Amino acid sequence: MLLPIALAALLSPTAQETPGALEQDPSGWIDLIEASGADLEGWTRVPIPPDGALNPDSQWSVDPETGSIVCSGDKGHEWLRWDAPQRDGIYHVEWRFVPVAEGPRRYNSGIYVRNSEDGTVWHQAQTGDASGGFLFGDTLIDGELERISTRDRVPDPRVKPAGEWNTYEVTFAGERVTLWVNGAVTVDWETCQVPSGHVGLEAEGYRIEFRRVLLKPL
């Protein structure tokens, strides 16, 4: 359950179309899939919550045909952490859910930035089925862990339905964190007090594919 807390987020009533950071400047990006290879070296599975237990079998793999990271979504709630922490950067992730034929369709996952190593502190760009496009998490505010959410500040999440590819770019520089979704910024949060941390990908019960997982240090 999300518990919204007021944030200093600057949002225009109608998001203006802008080119993404990768389109504007394709230089200086690190391809995290290419860097890790088929065995996902450099990534670590972390349970959610941090004191939970991991399934002994991994739900993460690299598809040899497409080169995408695939999460089967059937082995518990966890996240995949890129082990090298980053202070300032841009995290570009293209993702899509694989539609289910039967059962609930509450597609859910997230793109993480500036997480603590164990995930106690986390900042998530929410994904979904034509929903999401906002930031929320458990962050440090004046040294205390607090839940934040920009959900109510995003009138148009710009997220495509399950089965279609979406592109997220999360830029984190100083205290500012912005989320760009499919052609426009949906969130501009200016008061992040966590200066550095890990980027990652979330598994939460549904099969999801991630391609072009790129990180650009700033």
Q: Which helix (H) or strand (E) holds 81?
A: strand 78-82
Give pLDDT < 70 ranges for the chain: 1-14
Give the per-residue pLDDT at 6. Answer: 39
Give the per-residue pLDDT at 204. Answer: 94
Give the per-residue pLDDT at 10. Answer: 42
Give the per-residue pLDDT at 102. Answer: 75
What pTM, to 2 d.p., does this model score? 0.92
Give the per-residue pLDDT at 14. Answer: 58
Give the per-residue pLDDT at 104. Answer: 73
| 21-217: CATH architecture | Sandwich (2.60)
- Whose tokens are 């148009």? That residue is 156
| pLDDT more than 70, % of the chain | 93
* Percent composition of the chain: helix, strand, coil (DSSP 3-state, to 5): 5, 45, 50
Give the per-residue pLDDT at 100. Answer: 83
